[in-house]
Amino acid sequence: MRTGSVKRKTNETEISVEINLDGTGAYDISTGIGFLDHMLEQFSRHSLIDVNIKATGDLHIDFHHTTEDVGIAMGECVTQALGERRGITRYGTAIAPMDEALTRVALDASNRAYLVWKVEFVRDKLGEMDTELFKEWFQAFAQGAGLTLHVECFYGDNNHHIVEAAFKALARALRQAVEIDPRKVDTVPSTKGVLGGSL
């Protein structure tokens, strides 16, 4: 089993994350931010990655620190679980519709973090959550997980649908990328023989 476990404690947040890349999509998630929990549950279910998260943070200030730090810890868990990234498919792409919204995610589990974010929201808030925080989560996750990550919403009118399509597309694309290629089980998928570092 390819698993990761990270504990992160700062003056702003205290977070514990465990993942299993070879899971069934089981989850137990509590961040104190209801909508973020909902999105991370979608991520787990559609990636088939088991996810356990317990997080407390300075929500009396705003949701920024908790959202970002959960993304960092989850990404670090993915990096831990992937190890040398030997045998993985490496690339993944998914297009997810959510009613009127349509989003594409393409990623490379290259161990080089980069985010391209082409997502526009129709309002600044989704319930009590600032919509700008979703980019912060994706950036933090890409950084921690070592993903070159492109997220593009083609269209959408409902903030909930736009965000949910992004998380579901990420889940499906990451599921592809971390799958073991049975033809190259013991090989790092790079001509360099290692993933990460310079191009």
pLDDT value of residue 193: 63
Rg of the Cα atoms in the chain = 16
Q: Is the pLDDT of residue 146 over 80?
A: yes
- d(CA 98, CA 2) in angstroms, rounded, equals 30
pLDDT value of residue 181: 87
- d(CA 9, CA 13) in angstroms, rounded, equals 6
pLDDT value of residue 189: 60
Q: Is the pLDDT of residue 34 over 50?
A: yes
Q: Is the pLDDT of residue 2 over 90?
A: yes
Each residue's pLDDT tens digit, 179-189: 998 878 777 66
Each residue's pLDDT tens digit, 47-75: 999 999 999 999 999 999 999 999 999 99
- Sketch out the chain's domains with CATH numbers: 3-178 (3.30.230.40)
**Residue bearing the bigger pLDDT, 195 or 85:** 85
Q: Indicate the pTM of the whole model.
A: 0.94
Position 60: which residue type? Answer: H
Instruction: Give the number of other Cβ atoms within 10 Å of residue 132's Cβ.
Output: 11
Each residue's pLDDT tens digit, 149-170: 999 999 999 999 999 999 999 9
Helices (H), 54-149: 64-82, 132-145
Q: Which residues have C-beta within 8 Å of that of residue 27, sequence separation ≥ 6? A: 40, 41, 44, 45, 50, 51, 52
pLDDT value of residue 199: 42
196 phi-psi bin (left φ>0, alpha ψ -120 to 50, beta other): left
Handedness of CA 157, 161, 165, 166 (dihedral sign): positive
**Residue 109 — very low, low, confident or very high, per pLDDT cuts 50/70/90?**
very high
